[in-house]
Structure 1
Amino acid sequence: MKKGLSKGVTGLLAASLVLSGVSYANKTASAASIFSDVKPGWAEKHITKLAMQGILKGGTGKQAGMFSPANKVTRQEAVIIALRFMGVDNEVKTGEPLVFPSDLVIKDDYKPYIKLAVQKNILLLDEEIALVQKDGGKEWGSSPATREWMAKLLVRAIGKDQAAKEAGGQATAFSDDNQIDAGLKGYVSVATALGLVNGVTATKFDPTASVTREMASTLFSRAESQINVAYAGQVTGALVGVEGSKLTVLHSDGVVKSYTLSPTASVYGFGAEQTTDISSLMLYSEVILIGNSDGTVGFVEQTSETAKVKNIEGSLLLVSEAQNKLTVTIDGEPKTVSYDAQTLTIKDINGQSLTIADLPLNVPVTLGVDVATESKLLSLTVNKAVTNKSGSGTVEAVDVSGLTLQVKDAAGNSDSYPIDANAVVKHNGTNLSLDQLVPGDVVSYEVKMGSVTSVTVTNKVQPPIEGVINLVDKGTKTIQYRIGSELGVKEMIDNVAVKLEGLSNVTLDDLFKGDTVSMTLNESGKVSIITIKNRSVNFLNAAIVFSADLENDILIVTDSANKKVPLILTETTRFDLNGTVLTKKDAAKYIIKGKKINVGYTNSNAAYVSVVSQYTGTVLENNLSAKTLKLQLDNKNEVVLPYPNYFSAEIYGTSSTSYLDIRVGDKVTALMDYNTQDTVIAVQVQKTVQFELDKTDLSLNRIRAKRADGAFEEWSLNTTLLSLVDENDNPISLNALSQSGAKVLNVTFNGRTPIKIKVHSVTYGRVTSVNAAANSLELVTNAGTTVTKSFAAAPSVVRNNAVVGSLSSIKSDDRIEVRVDESDRPVIEIVQGISKKYLNHNSSTLFVARTSLNENNTYDLHPQVYVHQGTKTILLSEMKNGDALTLFIVRGKVVEIAK
C-alpha cells in the first residue's frame, strides 16, 4: 500500500476486499434472491438477509449483482464478517500504529480489523501464531477459514467463550471427533448445540474443510438469534396487521408503525428456508424487517412462534372514539387502553368482524394487548355474538330442543343462528310454534345480538302428497289422485321427474291409473317429483326371445343360463327402441324369436321391454387385443361387447376418436349393429364439463353459458332429453335458476349431446377460521354474512390453478371461493390479491396505473363488487388518483377492492 493513503480510503478499501456493497433494492432477480448466481436452496435466505444487513455483501464492478457463493472465505475476511455481525466494525481505528508478529502475514487493509478483533477477544494472537506454525508457515490471513476455526470465531462473537472452555475436555458426538483440533472441540460442541453449525452428515463434522461464502452466510445468520444487534435499516417487533402490501408492527416501546412491502421482497416463516406469502406469517409473532434503499421492506422473517400479545378478560365499560381509547372493568377495577382505529381487529365470538361503532357496552370482552406495556390494544373479541341483521332464505334445519336455526339464502350460502327463547314465529299473521317451522319453508328473519328474535314464513312448504293416480293429463300438465275417497288435483312443473326403483329414464308415460305415488311439491306448490311406490323392477339384459305373442300379452325369454322366463305384458308395460317409446303394435315388429332384448319385470309382469340396440354403463375393461368392451350396466349387470377394427367414439370437445380413446371408468352408451345385435358400431362417452352461467332466456326456455376457454354455448330446455337439476339432483325450473344467483353449471354430455345441467352455487369471502380436523371453515361474504362450510370429503385447495394442499393450507383472512369441480367434488380456490394504484373507473370497468407499457390496466368489475377500507364499505367514486388498492379477481371479474 502506498504511504499517505487516507484512513477513510483505507477503511473503505479493506471493506471492498470482502466484496463490498451492492444496490439490492434495484435488482431484477426474483424475490427469493437478490443475486443472479444464488439459486433456490438452503442458503438463499441467509445470503439475502446478511447482504441486506451489510454483513456479507455482493460484488462490485463486473461482479455487481453476483454473490459468488462457492468462493472460499479467508481468515481475514471472516474476521471482518464477524465484526460486522457483532455491530462493532464502526469502532475500527485506521490511524493507529499497527504492529503484528512477523509470523502473522496479513494484508495491510485488514490489519485495523484484526487489531479490533484481538481487542474484542474473538482472536488470540498466541493461538493464531500456533496455527501458522501447524500449517507449515502458510500465510495466516489469505488461508481459507476451516469449519472448526469458524466455529471458534462464531462462538466467541456471541459471547460463549467460557461455555466452550467448559466443554473443551469432552469429546464431540461426531464420528470424526479424533480429527477435530483438541483445543477447538469445545467450540464445535457449543456451536452445534446452539444449532449454529451442523455436521456435513448426521455423524461427520469434517473439521478442516474450507468455509464457503454461502456457508458463512448460514452460520452468521443462524447466530443472530444469540446476539442483540441493531443493524442499519432493520427493525423488529410483533406483526399485528397485514393488508395488501402494508405491514403493521408493534415495537417494544409500544409504538405501532406501518411499513410498505416491496413487490420483490423475500418473506420467510419461522424456521423456514423457502419463501412464503406474507399472509402466511402468524399475526402477533415477532418479526424482523430489513429495508431497501427506496424505503420499502425487502426482507421479512418471522423469528418466533410465541405471540407478543397478552389476553385480558373484562367487561366493556366505556368507548371513546374521539380519544381512541376504551375502558374495561377487570374484577371491579377499571383499566383504560388506547388503540389505533386503522389496525385494531374487532370480532365477536363467532368471528364476525365488527367496528368500534358496533360495540355494545356491558358485554364480556377479551382484550389482546401488547406484552411490553399492556396499554396498547391490538385485538378485541366480544365474548358473545353481536350480529344484528335481517335476512331471508329457505329453512334448512330447525333444532327445537337446541334452539338453532339454519337458513340458506338465494346465493346458496348457509347461516346458522341460535334462537332466542322468546322468538316469535308467524305465518299469514298467525302465530306458529317453533316445531311448525320445517325445512323448505321460505322465511324472513331478524337477528339481534346474535340470536333470531323473529321469523316470518313467507312461503310455507307443503309435505309430500301420497295417493293413488286417477289421471295424468300431459296437455294441461295436471295429475289427478285419490286419497281414500277424496279426489285431488295438482299442477306439474314442465320438467317433472318420475322415479321408479330399478328403472332409469322413467317418464310420465310410465304412470298408470292405480299406481300408488308420492308427489313432492316445489316452492310454488307444483308437483316436481313423482315417485312410484308400489312397483320395483328386476332385470334381464340381452335376454333372447324364445316366443312372443304380443296380441295375447305373452312373452317368453331365455336368460344367460338358458333358463326360460315367462312374462306377462300389461297395460303399464313400456316398449322402446334406443330410448324411443314404441306402441305395442310397433314393438311387435322387433320382438321376434332369436332377437336380444332387455326386460324389466315385477313378479311376472313386464315393466318394460327394450330392443337391444344399445347398452349404457361404465367401462370395466377395454381389451384391445380381443377387441371387446366390458361394461357394468346401471343395474349392476355386466356385459361383454365385441367391436370391429374401427368404430367411432363420440366425445365432447374432441373431433376424431376411436376405440383407443375409451378408458376404464368411462360412462358410455354403446350402439350396436341392429341386424346382428352383437357388435358395437359406435360409442358415446359421457363427459361432464364445467361452465359459467352467462344468461337465461325465459321466453325461449334457453340457457347460455361460457366454457373455461371462453367459448359460449347455448342449449334449449324444450326437450325431454335435457334435464335441469339443482345440486341435490332435484329438477328445477329455469325461472328458479335465474333467481338463485348460482353461477356454476356442470353439464353432462352423452357424446356431444347435453343430457343434464346441474346447477351449483359458489361462495366467495374472507376466511375467519379453519378447523382442518373437522373439515370445515368459516368465512364472511362480501355481504357481511358469516358462513360455515363443512365438507363430507376433504376439499382440494388450489392457488393459481395448482393444488397447494388441504384445509390446513388456508389461513385466516385468506380470500377464497368455495365451489365444486366437474365431478361435484369440493374445491377451495385461494384468491390472491394484486396491488394496483387507482386511476379511474366506469360502471363496469376499473382503470389502474401502469408500471410498464405492456401491463394490463383495465379490469372488469363484478356487478356486486365489494369496495372497502378496513371494515368500512366505501364507494369507488371516493377513490383518488394514486390510491393504493388490492384487487381480488374471480373468473375474470373484480369481486373485491380493498383500499
Structure 2
Amino acid sequence: MLDKRKSKWAAGALAATMIYSGIGWSATTAFAASPFSDVTAGHWAEKHISKLALQGILKGGTGTEAGKFNPNKNVSREEAVLIALRFMGIEDQVKSDEVLVFPSELTIGNYYKPYIKLALQKKILMIDEETELAKKEKGKDWGKSPATREWITRLLVRAIGKDAEAKLAASQATSFNDDTSIDAKLKGYVNVGIASGIITGVTVTNGAGASVTKFDPVAPVTRATASTLFSRAESKISVAYSGQVTGVLLAMDANKLTLLHQDGVVKDYTISTSTSVYRFDSEKASSLADLKLYGEVSLISEAGGSIGYVEQTSDTAKVKTYEGTLTRVSTSLNRLTLLVGEDSVYYYYDPLHLPSVKDANGQTLTLDNLPVNATVKLLVDAVRTDGKILSITVNQSVVNKTGTGTVAAWSAATRSLQVKATATSLPENFPVSANATIKKNGINVAPEDMKLGDTITYEVKSGSVTSIVITKSEQPTISGILNAINKTDKTIQYTVNGELSAKFMADNVIVKIEGYADATLDDVYKGDPISLTFNDSGKVSVISVTGNVVSNLTGATISSYVSDAKTLIVFDSAGKKYNLDVNASTRFDLNGTKLTLETATPLISSKGKKVNIGISGTNVIYVSIIAKYSGTVTENNTSARTLKLSLDGSGSITLPYVSPIVEIYGSTAKSYADVRVGDQVTVLLNGSQDQASSILVQKTAQFDFISSDTTNNKLRTKRADGVVEEWTLGSNIVLQDESGAATTLGALNNAGLLNITFQGNTPIKIKTVSVSYGRVSSVNTAGASVDLVLPNGSTVTKTVGSTPLILKNNVVQSSLSTVSPDDRVEIRKDENDRVVIEVVPLLRKLYWYYEADSRTLNVKKETLADTNFSFTLHSQVYIHQGTTTLSLTDLRNDDAISLYVLRGKVFEIAK
C-alpha cells in the first residue's frame, strides 16, 4: 500500500527552498513524471529524473524555476549528502535542535549542517577525510563545491552498505585509461561502484582518433547524472519511498493498472496520458503495450494521487499453470472444479476481481458461458498462499458467428480452412466439422470442389464451421490471341496454340489495357495477345490485353492535324515531336464528354491546344481535350506557385498558378497554401490552358439524413456540428448504397447516416453508411470482433479490424478491451471508411409523457434547473422490458426508465 512516512525538516520555509544552490527548489513539491520543460522527450536521463523527482529524492524547482529541472546544473557536496540521506530513507532522522560543531575548515550552509551531522553519524561521510579535502582546497567553500565523480561514488557506495568491500578492493587497478588519475584512497570505491553497476566509464576519442574509456574522476556531477546514479543504486538497497508501491501486474487499461501486493491485497491505481512508463531493461520510455502481465511493477504516485511513474521491474510471471477438464463452475463458492488425471481438483477465484476468460481464438467470455467438459488452462497467482485464479483459457474456440470471405487455404484431408474475411481482409482459421455441408447453387458438393479463391458464406458453431455456401467460384484464366469480337452476338473468338475457340461474353464485359483507364471492345484488335477471365456462368467477364501497352502523353501540345491523311502532330511536355495516326477506333472526349472525329476535328486542328493522348506505337488510342485535371497532389510549391499532380494511370503534371480560387468543403477563405500533399483535387484551367484558375479539393464528410424530396431532387442533411445543409442534386451525382451499388434518392429515406464526397463545395457522390446498434454480448480482442445482440433479438458478429476508433463518453479509447459486455454500442464506418465503435451512455430517468406529433419523450426533472428532460426519439427506437418488446403506450407516469441517447436521439428505452 502507499507508504505515508512523515518528513521532518530541519529549517523553516525559507531554508527549505534552498536545496538547489540558493535557487527556489522546493523540498516538499511533488511533480508528475513528465512536466519538466527542460527535460525533453528522449533525454538520456529522462527515466531516472522522472523517478527520483516523484520519489522526493531529487526534485524540480519552484518560483521562477517552477517546471524546470536544470539537468546540466552541477550538484554541490552538501546537496549530494542531502540526496544520499533521502535515498537511504532516513531524512526524517535529522535533528535540527542539536548543537552542531564542525572543524573550521569545513564551510557548510546552515540549512545543510544537520544533514551533514547525520551523514557523519551514519558513516557515509568521515570527518577526517572531508577535513583533509577542505585543507587541500584552501580558499574554497567545501559545501558548495561541486561533487566529483570519484567523491560521489564513495558517498553512494557507503550509502548502499558496501564500505567494507571497497576497502578490500582498494589495491586493485581499474580498467580505465585514466586509472592513475583516480585518487588512491577512492579507487576501491570506484571498483565497487563499477562492479555494482551504479556508475560507468566515459568513452572519448583520443588524439589519435581512437575510442578509449576513462573514468574522469574529478569531473563535476550534474543533476541528471546524480539522478541516474542514485536511481541505479536503488536496486542495492531496501527502502519504502513515500507514494511508491510494488506488486504483480494483474490487469491494465488506458485508465488504470491493477496490482496484487505481497500481502494479498488487490488494488486499482489510476493512470493518465501523462504517466511515464518504463522497463527495467531499457533507459527509453515505453508504453503500456510493453508491460507484461503477471510480472512485477513499481508505481510512484504524484501529488494528486494518480500514478506518475510506472516501471516493470521483472518480466518473470508470478503465476502457476494448471490444466484439466472443466467439470463445474460454482459461482456461489467462487470455485472451479477441474478433472486433472483421475482427480477432481478445486481452484478458487476472487469474486471482487474476476479472472479474465478467453477461448482459443482470444474471444472474451464470462464465467457463466464457460463450456463444461472442455479442456481449460488456469493461471493461478504464486503470491498468495491460497493463490487465486487470474485467467482462464478454454483450449477450443467457442465462437458462434456467420461470415463471408474468400478461401485462402483449404485442406479437404485435414478439414482445415483459412478464410480471408471480407469485412477485415484478415485471415481466420477454423476446423470444418466432419458433418458440415458444402453447397453451390443449392446443391451439396464434395469438399474437393471448394477451391482457393472461392467466395463463400459460412457458419461457425462452437469454433467449428458447420456449413459453407460457395457463392462465387474462382474461374481459371485463358491466354491466347484475339481473332474476332462480335458485339451483336456477344462472342469472342481466339486461338490457343493455333486452335480456334469461341466464348460468350458477359453483358458487362470489362476491357483492361495497361495505361488506358477507359478501354472498350473497340480498343481491342485482331492479333492482340489477350487473357480472358470468366464469371460463374462461364462467360468472359474480363478481357486483358497483355501485349499492347498504351503510353500516355499528358499535357501534349498540338502542332497540326492533317484531316485527309488523319495525321496528328504533337509535342510532349519535354518538346519531343510525335507523328501519329488517327484511325476509326480513336476515341475523343472534352473533359469526359465523348466526341466524334467530326466534332473533335476543329479542336485538334487548333495549334497550341493542350491535350492528353494515349498511343500504342504510332496509333492514337484516345485524345482527351482538357480544361481540367484530376489527381493527387504530390507537391505544392507555394514559392514557385506550382502544383504537381499524380494523374490516375497517366503519369504526372505540374501546373502553375497565380491566385487560384480554392474550394474545400466546410472551410472558408482558403488559399493555395491550404492545399496539402496527398489531397485529391480537380484543377480547372484558364482559357489558355496554361494556369490553374480553380483548385477543388475532394473531401468526404459524414451527415445525418433528414429528408429527401424526389420531386425536386433535393436532399436535406445535418452535419456533426448541427448545421443543416440542403442540396439540389444534379443528374451526374453518384448515389450508392453501403455496398457501393447504385441506388436512388428515394432509397436514401432508409438511411441513418450518409458519407458525402465533395469536389470543392459541390457534392459528387453520396453513399449510405451501414449502422448497427445493439447490446454487446462478448468482445473478442484477438479476433477483432464484437458479438452484438440486435433489438430484434438476433446476435451478429461484427468484425471491427485492428484499429477501430472507439469512443466512450466522447473520449477516444486505446483498446477494444475498453468495450464491455452489456454496453450499448453503435458500430459504423466514418467518412474515411474506418470502423467506429461508440459506446452509448446510460441515462436513468422517470417517465412523464410523450408528444406523438414531434416524437418527443419528456421525463421528470431532477431539479428545477434541470434542462435535460426532453428527448427526440429515433425512428426505430427499441423499447423493451427485459426481452419483452414494448410500445410507448406501455410506459406510465413515474416509470423508472433507462435511456440510451446518441446524436441527440433516443435509440433505446429500457423499462
Amino acid in structure 1 at the alignment position of 2:237: I
In structure 2, relative to structure 1, the CA distance for the partners of 1:745 and 1:321 (3 Å cut) is same
Cα 1:844–1:61 shift into 2, 3 Å: farther
How far does residue 344 in structure 1 lie from its aligned partner after superposition?
Answer: 2.2
Distance of aligned partners of 1:620 and 1:390 in 2 relative to their CA distance in 1, 3 Å threshold: closer
Query: Contact between 2:146 and 2:220, CA under 8 Å: does it hold in 1?
Result: yes
Match of 1:447, SS? strand
Greater Cα offset, 603-612 or 236-245 = 603-612
Q: 2:162 matched to 1:160?
A: yes
2:368 counterpart residue number? 357
Which residue is 1:447 aligned to? 460
When residues 863 and 39 of structure 1 are mapped into structure 2, their CA distance, relative to the original with a 3 A threshold, is farther
SS in 2 for 1:225: helix
Displacement after TM superposition at 1:152 (Å) = 0.7
Whether the aligned pair in 2 keeps the contact of 1:268 and 1:276 (CA below 8 Å) is yes
**Among 242, 249, 253, the residue aligned to 1:239:** 249
- CA deviations 1:608-636 (Å, max 9, x no partner) are 66667777789999999999999997675
Report deviation, 1:288. 1.9
Asked if structure 2 preserves the Cα contact closer than 8 Å seen for 1:398 and 1:405, the reply is yes
Using a 3 Å threshold, how does the CA distance of structure 1 residues 285 and 712 change in structure 2: closer, same or farther?
farther
Q: What is the deviation of 1:224?
A: 0.8
Deviation by residue 1:864-896 (Cα, 9 ceiling, x = unmatched): 99xxxxxxxxxxxxxxxxxxxxx9x9999999x
1:546/1:556 contact within 8 Å kept: yes
Alignment partner, residue 3 of structure 1:
none
Per-residue deviation at 1:287?
1.9
Give the Å deviation of 1:159.
1.9
Residues of 2 paired with 1:393 and 1:781: CA distance? 16
Does structure 2 conserve the Cα–Cα contact (< 8 Å) formed by 1:315 and 1:328? Answer: yes
1:422 aligns with 2:440: no
Unpaired runs of at least 5, structure 2? 1-5, 205-212, 479-483, 494-500, 789-795, 808-812, 820-825, 848-854, 858-867, 878-899
CA contact (8 A) 1:75 1:142 kept: yes
SS of equivalent residue, structure 1 residue 152: helix
Which string of whole-angstrom CA distances, capped at 9 and with x for unpartnered residues, describes residues 646-702 of structure 1?
7967765687878999999987667586xxxx8536566575424335449787488
CA contact (8 A) 1:290 1:298 kept: yes
Deviations 1:154-174 (A, max 9, x none): 101112223323432234445
> Does the 8 Å CA contact 1:690/1:707 hold for their aligned counterparts?
no
Name the CA shift for 1:50/1:87 in 2 (closer, same or farther; >3 Å). Answer: same
Matched, 1:345 2:350: no
RMSD: 6.9
Kept in 1: contact 2:738–2:770 (CA 8 A) = no
1:187 positional shift:
1.4
Quick one: distance in 2 between partners of 1:235 and 1:810? 25
Change (3 A) 1:198 1:891: farther
Question: TM (normalized to structure 1)?
Answer: 0.65
Q: CA deviation at 1:328?
A: 4.2
Query: Which of 780, 784, 796 lines up with 1:779 in the alignment?
Result: 784
Aligned-pair CA distance for 1:182: 1.2
Contact map agreement 2:679 2:697 (CA 8 A) in 1: no
Q: Which of 296, 305, 309 matches 1:286? A: 296
Cα separation, partners in 2 of 1:197 and 1:486, compared to 1, 3 Å: closer
1:348/1:544 CA distance change after superposition, 3 Å: same
What pairs up with 1:555-634 in 2 under 5 angstroms? Answer: 555-557=566-568, 569=584, 576-582=589-595, 586=599
Please tell me the residue identity of whatever aligns with 2:463.
G
Residue 230 of structure 2 is aligned to residue 220 of structure 1 = yes
- For 1:569, what is the secondary structure of its paired residue? coil
TM-superposed deviation, 1:30: 5.9
Q: Distance in 2 between matches of 1:9 and 1:623?
A: 62
What's the offset of the Cα at 1:236?
0.9
Alignment of 1:280-679 (within 5 A): 281-291=291-301, 296-328=306-338, 336-341=346-351, 342-372=353-383, 375-377=386-388, 379-382=390-393, 384-393=395-404, 399=410, 401=412, 403-404=416-417, 406=419, 408=421, 417-426=430-439, 430-434=443-447, 443=457, 445-455=458-468, 499=511, 501=513, 503-505=516-518, 547-548=562-563, 555-557=566-568, 569=584, 576-582=589-595, 586=599, 636=650
- TM-score by length of structure 2 reads 0.64
**In structure 1, how many angstroms separate the alpha carbons of the residues matched to 2:121 and 2:608?**
107
Checking the alignment, whether the CA contact within 8 Å between 2:31 and 2:53 is kept in structure 1 is no
CA distance in 1, matches of 2:7, 2:636: 81
CA distance in 1, matches of 2:393, 2:156: 49
Q: Distance in 2 between matches of 1:760 and 1:706?
A: 14
Cα distance change of structure 1 residues 411 and 566 upon mapping to structure 2, 3 Å threshold:
closer
Distance 2:33 2:842 in 1: 21
Q: 1:680 to 1:44 in 2, by over 3 A?
A: closer
Q: 1:178 and 1:392 mapped to 2: Cα distance? A: 75
Look up the SS of the partner of 1:207 in the other structure. coil
Distance 1:577 1:64, change over 3 A: closer
2:894 maps to which residue? none
Partner of 1:805: none
Deviations 1:264-305 (A, max 9, x none): 655544466676665654433322223457655454333334
CA distance, structure 2, for counterparts of residue 52 and residue 557 of structure 1: 79
Counterparts of residues 785-864 of structure 1 (less than 5 Å):
785=797, 787=799, 813=817
> How far does the alpha carbon of each residue in 1:64-123 deviate from its partner, in whole angstroms, 9 at most, with x for none?
998787776555554454344223455667899988777767788877765654554433
Higher deviation after alignment, 412-421 or 22-31? 22-31
Distance, in Å, in 1 between the alignment partners of 2:838 and 2:360 is 27
| C-alpha distance in 1 between matches for 2:786 and 2:800 | 11
**Counterpart code for 1:156:** R
2-structure distance, mates of 1:164, 1:757: 79
Equivalent-residue separation in structure 1 for 2:290 and 2:771 (angstroms): 24
Amino acid aligned to 2:188: G
Structure 1 pair 227–338 and aligned structure 2 pair: CA distance change class (3 A) = farther
Correspondence for 2:183? 181
Return 5+ residue gaps in structure 1 as ranges: 1-7, 472-479, 770-776, 800-808, 846-855, 866-886
> Does the Cα contact within 8 Å between 1:547 and 1:556 map onto a contact in 2?
yes
AA at the equivalent of 1:180: I
Tell me the alpha carbon deviations over residues 772-821 of structure 1, each in whole angstroms, 9 at most, x when there is no partner: xxxxx85344749585958xxxx99999xxxxxxxxx9989589x99999
Residues 507/256 of structure 1: CA separation in 2 closer, same or farther (3 Å cut): same
Deviation at 1:213, TM superposition (A): 5.5
Contact 1:19 1:58 in 2 (8 A): no
Alpha-carbon distance between aligned partners in 2 of 1:266 and 1:629, rounded to the nearest angstrom = 43
Distance 1:463 1:733, change over 3 A: farther
- TM-superposed CA distance for 1:446, in Å, is 3.5
Distance 1:64 1:734, change over 3 A: same
CA displacement 1:445-474 (0-9 Å, x = unmatched): 4322311123467x7789899997766xxx
